[in-house]
Structure 1
Amino acid sequence: MILKKLTLPELLKNSCSQFKNNLSLNFVQSGNRTYQDLYKDVLSLANHLLTLGIQKGDKVAILSANMPNWGITQFAIAQIGAISVPILPGFSSTEIQNILEHAEVKVIFVSKLLYKLVAPIKTDFLEHKILMNNFASIPEGYEAEAIEKLEPAIALNNQTPLPEITIEEEDTASIIYTSGTTGFSKGVELTHKNLVWNARQCSTIQPVGEKDRFLSILPLAHTYENTLGLLLPLLFGAQIFYLDRVPTPKLLVPAMQKIRPTVILSVPLVIEKIYKTQIVPRFNSSAMMRTLHKFAPTRKILNRLAGKKLMKTFGGELVFFGIGGSKLDPIVERFLHEAKFPYAIGYGLTETAPMSAGSNPSATFLQGVGPVMEGVSMKINEPDHKGEGEIWIKGPHVMKGYYKKPELTQEVMTPDGWFKTGDLGFFDTKGRLSIRGRIKTMILGASGENIYPEEIESIINNFRFVNESLVVESKGKLVAMVHFNMEELEKQYQKLKTQAGNYKAHLNEMIEEQKKELFEYVNSRVNNFSKLQLVMIQSEPFEKTPTQKIKRFLYNNIQV
């Protein structure tokens, strides 16, 4: 794909001219918007932003569930040289207010279900609130309960040519506030070139064409979905479909049967849940099945059969199921690999727009990422005797910096342009990248050994009845905080209710038994210096970031 300039307006202009009759952004349930229609919608909304007084460099926020209007809004903002500020739906009202103030946002587009978070917010800069679902202007002080009643105020039929606005590759296109596990959101400044170059380079890993159908299920406010799930398919004339409600399994299955997606981007949590709820029960359906699944030759046959059924569930035409965001459970990955399911692992960060390394389904390998993406420079800084160290990245996709935080930018950027990721990794003899964990979460053992809690957690999370876990160090002890699936535990022990007055005692006894079993299960599967000293019950789900990562900083000071 040859573009005169690596900017979002140039990407849109080129694609809407070349693929004008192809379907572009639509709901699964309805819609037939073409690329030509998309361009008209973007031009109309851009003209409306100009009438509101928005100029080049002004910030416009987007807080919305995924929908076609999300992409229309992002491109309309870019058309006039303004800067989009995507906000993850999981942020609290206080966090949203802080972002709007810090970024000096003048306009916010917000969807119906999220308006209640924005309704009370006022800042010195915020001038307009617009309903994303139908582009209705939201009056000042408008009640959240009445949001359904608002009528559209922006007609998408204003084709007035836009004034000449020079937009350069190095201009800021987006400021994305990360939902880090350290407790502090940073505004990552990404340029037009960062985003468009990264989207284009992703096609060197997995080619995309006009016949591809993307099903978008991850938040578009996250750069992973935005670059790979919006910009990449638009570059090559592919179709993108959105669900009009929260993507539950009940809604996803008929949607996939209808559009038969060729590409889906996901996080480990999604496929791990499918494996635990749909695949594992089949293998545990009888004593014979459990026995057959324990032995490698028969396990591989059973996994392959299950994989064929899973492919049918996904519509039967899937060629790329991308997984990124965090480490994939090794047992789940082994199943996907043996099932010949077309999964692929990618590595990147918001600060790298995001992709930096990865492979397509034909080249995946267990618990690894893959080669460095074409055009990206990557090295392991000061590797230890095993070749492990911090991953440093350089390339046209590396951010401009943290917005209004030059001191933080200097901490992670070297004078010669290397970005310090904070991730620990290594290259194998074939030059393929694998990730060990985060530097900040690594625990130093009593004899100086590096302990990676994420690796222990993946083992814990594969234990029956475990929902999630967190491994921390406290007073020299390695402690596992475990959140059990109490609903499933209680189902297994319903018969105890017949023993009047003893049910609660039996349930507590059963939990203690599970703790003991888990303790032995984990310690038989880790090296000597990664063995647990204690298992603690986490009664409530862990607090998480909007991207569903546990906020580790909240649990660093537990007392044992």
Structure 2
Amino acid sequence: MANFFALVREVAERQPAALCFAVSGQSYGAVWRRVQYRAAALRARGLKKGDVLGILSKNSPDWCVTFTAAMGLGVLALVLDTNLSSATHREMLAHVQAKLVCVSPEFAAVDYGIPQYAIEMADPAAVFEPEPVDDADLAALFYTSGTTGEPKVVPLTQANLLKTTLACIERFHAVPSDMFMTILPLYHVYGLVAGFLGAYLSGASIVFQNSLKASDILGTLARQPITIFSAVPQLWEIFLDRLLKKIKSESPPKHAFFVFVLNNAPSLRHLGLGRLLDKLFYPVHQVFGLKLRLLISGGSRLRLRYCLYYKRLGFNLTEGYGLTETTGPICVGKIKNATPICVGLPLPGNQVAIRQPDKHGIGEIWLKGDAVMPGYYQNPEATREAFDADGWFQTGDLGLLDRHGELHIRGRSKNVIVLDSGKNVYPEDIESRYLQSPLVEEIAIFGRRISSRETVYAVVVPAEKNQDSREQLKAEFKKLGHGLPTYKRIGRFAVSFNPLPRTSTQKVKVHEVIQRLEAGEYQAAD
């Protein structure tokens, strides 16, 4: 298999006039020239194969050009989270012994302790010849802390990135006529693979969307013929909530009718009313753009209600599953008729195993294959803890495989609440139920020892923040609990009027929620 840099060149030479970065109007031929100029400039400043290059910039064509140039040099690209402090950036660069860092203008005023250059640097006069690289050569470094607060450095190889990208292109059926909306940060591997590498190697066009305001996103969708759009669940939920809220504000009866049709769409289609539904839902597709053919959700689990609503509206929405350690998506659902709250089959070249399953088939997810990292960077102890003797990676996630071999995620093994009765409670499943309430904006569920007994406890952010919130939630939780076994019901809860702490991929930091609860930052409802 050709290496990544060779394929970049091949795509550019095959379609030099094709549009690569849509907003700035840069063609594949122009981007390829810039990649060579950037690589030559980096080499002239002393970078050589095996060195570490920091990249600190918001999403942009220059970010992509610099990353690609690093791949051609055999240099390890340390991709830095732009939301972190300058002190943290400096520590990260020092920890991996980065030789230099490329920054965009908004980060240029800081001294990072190593030579720094403008991310748009170039050397047009030089002739660049790429370094020979092997599949096993390291290509990129990512810091990961997940929700545990324990940062590690994940190295991904040339083969990890290339094989995962090509497998995603195949699963997404991506072609040169596609246009990708790239809203996820490229310093996350999900954003890198789904928003840049997959788009580029398929010869498609890329639109960067750096504003997260729903109105700005919808404006871009109206202006550009986007066909593939990947995002985190929170964004898909915001879109749908905004749509329903808008309909309700215009006409409550119209909203009631729309929700009725949405809830009963499968039955109505079965009765032969499909064309009527398509006509009713057509304005929604106009808002998203009539060219949009694929929505991708990843980073955490999308709630069932939203999965079903998007499907009933006529959108192809698929979910993916993976970690930084697995080059992002290692499992991706079907493009059409995807099973709700299912992350599908593993990508080619990868395997999934469920170990020590319970009577329901739920056990710990272990992974092996092309997408899995070789081990934590310069951390043999963490590597030994994460892998078994046969090279299987322990994810710490819980799931089950259905009869079709598709993976269903059930949560984190560390988050499982083991009650004194010996029964297990999976917080993510319970959260999904309580989040269906219009009174609940956010919720984190975990085990807490109260009066010497393990209790299902929750910290809740109410949708309506007022002095009656606690009493309203008490009544609501009592009602919602009727459909659950007694042991799965929320025993006690506390209220927060501020958003829950989250990672940059919008996962709730449960450990931090617990710390804040113990520090008295939340108001107990009892």
Structure 1 residues 96 and 428: alpha-carbon distance in aligned structure 2, compared to 1, 3 A threshold: same
Q: Which amino acid aligns with 2:19?
A: L
2:180 aligned to 176, 194, 214, which one? 214
How far the C-alpha of 1:247 sits from its partner, in A, is 3.3
In 2, Cα distance between equivalents of 1:511 and 1:86? 42
SS where residue 336 of structure 2 aligns? Answer: helix
1:271 aligned to 226, 236, 258, which one? 236
Q: Which residue of 1 aligns with 2:448?
A: 474
In 1, Cα distance between equivalents of 2:162 and 2:223? 30
> Which moved further from structure 2: 287-296 or 433-442?
287-296
Q: Which residue of 2 aligns with 1:363?
A: 337
Residue correspondence of structure 1 range 272-287 to structure 2 within 5 A: 272-282=237-247, 285-286=251-252
For the pair 1:167 / 2:154, whether they are aligned, the reply is no
1:91 aligned to 84, 94, 102, which one? 84
Q: Which amino acid aligns with 2:475?
A: E
For the pair 1:533 / 2:491, whether they are aligned, the reply is yes
Q: Which amino acid aligns with 2:177?
A: K
In 1, Cα distance between equivalents of 2:253 and 2:481? 26
Could you tell me whether the CA contact under 8 Å between 1:91 and 1:546 is conserved in 2?
no
In 1, Cα distance between equivalents of 2:145 and 2:284? 32
Q: Which residue of 2 aligns with 1:127?
A: 115
For the pair 1:547 / 2:486, whether they are aligned, the reply is no
After superposition, what is the alpha-carbon deviation per residue over 1:121-160, rounded to whole angstroms, capped at 9, x for unaligned? Answer: 443xx222x333xx2xxxxxxxxxxxxxxxxxx35633x3
Could you tell me whether the CA contact under 8 Å between 1:307 and 1:336 is conserved in 2?
no
Structure 1 residues 390 and 121: alpha-carbon distance in aligned structure 2, compared to 1, 3 A threshold: farther
Residue correspondence of structure 1 range 177-192 to structure 2 within 5 A: 177-192=143-158
2:18 aligned to 18, 22, 28, which one? 22
For the pair 1:422 / 2:380, whether they are aligned, the reply is no
Q: Which amino acid aligns with 1:533?
A: G
Q: Which amino acid aligns with 2:203?
A: G
For the pair 1:522 / 2:477, whether they are aligned, the reply is no
1:326 aligned to 300, 325, 336, which one? 300
For the pair 1:102 / 2:80, whether they are aligned, the reply is no
Could you tell me whether the CA contact under 8 Å between 1:292 and 1:298 is conserved in 2?
no
In 2, Cα distance between equivalents of 1:171 and 1:22? 31
1:484 aligned to 437, 449, 462, which one? 462
1:248 aligned to 210, 213, 219, which one? 213
Structure 1 residues 364 and 50: alpha-carbon distance in aligned structure 2, compared to 1, 3 A threshold: same
How far the C-alpha of 1:402 sits from its partner, in A, is 0.9
Task: State the structure with bigger RCO (CA 8 A, min sep 6), 1 or 2.
Answer: 1
Q: Which residue of 2 aligns with 1:74?
A: 67
How far the C-alpha of 1:526 sits from its partner, in A, is 3.1
In 2, Cα distance between equivalents of 1:104 and 1:354? 25
Q: Which amino acid aligns with 2:457?
A: V
Structure 1 residues 178 and 266: alpha-carbon distance in aligned structure 2, compared to 1, 3 A threshold: same
Structure 1 residues 258 and 307: alpha-carbon distance in aligned structure 2, compared to 1, 3 A threshold: same
Q: Which residue of 1 aligns with 2:273?
A: none
Could you tell me whether the CA contact under 8 Å between 1:61 and 1:100 is conserved in 2?
yes
How far the C-alpha of 1:307 sits from its partner, in A, is 4.3
In 2, Cα distance between equivalents of 1:59 and 1:288? 57
Aligned length: 505
Q: Which amino acid aligns with 1:233?
A: A
Q: Which amino acid aligns with 1:451?
A: V
Unaligned runs of 5+ in 2: 269-275, 519-523
For the pair 1:261 / 2:226, whether they are aligned, the reply is yes
After superposition, what is the alpha-carbon deviation per residue over 1:356-407, rounded to whole angstroms, capped at 9, x for unaligned? Answer: 2122331311221212222211111122222111111111221011111111
How far the C-alpha of 1:288 sits from its partner, in A, is 7.2
How far the C-alpha of 1:23 sits from its partner, in A, is 1.0
- After TM superposition, the score normalised by the length of structure 2 is 0.90
Q: Which amino acid aligns with 1:19?
A: Q
In 2, Cα distance between equivalents of 1:303 and 1:108? 53
Structure 1 residues 281 and 480: alpha-carbon distance in aligned structure 2, compared to 1, 3 A threshold: farther
Q: Which amino acid aligns with 2:460?
A: V
In 1, Cα distance between equivalents of 2:40 and 2:133? 16
2:35 aligned to 42, 58, 63, which one? 42
SS where residue 401 of structure 1 aligns? Answer: coil
How far the C-alpha of 1:291 sits from its partner, in A, is 7.1
In 1, Cα distance between equivalents of 2:278 and 2:426? 31
How far the C-alpha of 1:221 sits from its partner, in A, is 0.8
In 1, Cα distance between equivalents of 2:151 and 2:91? 10
Q: Which amino acid aligns with 1:127?
A: P
How far the C-alpha of 1:203 sits from its partner, in A, is 2.6
SS where residue 259 of structure 2 aligns? Answer: helix
After superposition, what is the alpha-carbon deviation per residue over 1:513-559, rounded to whole angstroms, capped at 9, x for unaligned? Answer: 32223322431343332101112111322222222222221133544
In 2, Cα distance between equivalents of 1:470 and 1:76? 42
SS where residue 313 of structure 1 aligns? Answer: helix
Structure 1 residues 298 and 173: alpha-carbon distance in aligned structure 2, compared to 1, 3 A threshold: closer
> Which moved further from structure 2: 464-473 or 402-411?
464-473
How far the C-alpha of 1:512 sits from its partner, in A, is 2.8
Could you tell me whether the CA contact under 8 Å between 2:51 and 2:99 is conserved in 1?
yes
How far the C-alpha of 1:97 sits from its partner, in A, is 2.5
Could you tell me whether the CA contact under 8 Å between 2:89 and 2:112 is conserved in 1?
no
SS where residue 224 of structure 1 aligns? Answer: helix
For the pair 1:234 / 2:200, whether they are aligned, the reply is yes
In 1, Cα distance between equivalents of 2:434 and 2:299? 19
Structure 1 residues 247 and 215: alpha-carbon distance in aligned structure 2, compared to 1, 3 A threshold: same
Q: Which amino acid aligns with 1:15?
A: V
Q: Which residue of 2 aligns with 1:141?
A: none
Q: Which residue of 2 aligns with 1:297?
A: 264
SS where residue 517 of structure 1 aligns? Answer: helix
For the pair 1:176 / 2:142, whether they are aligned, the reply is yes
For the pair 1:157 / 2:149, whether they are aligned, the reply is no
How far the C-alpha of 1:299 sits from its partner, in A, is 8.8
In 1, Cα distance between equivalents of 2:279 and 2:104? 42
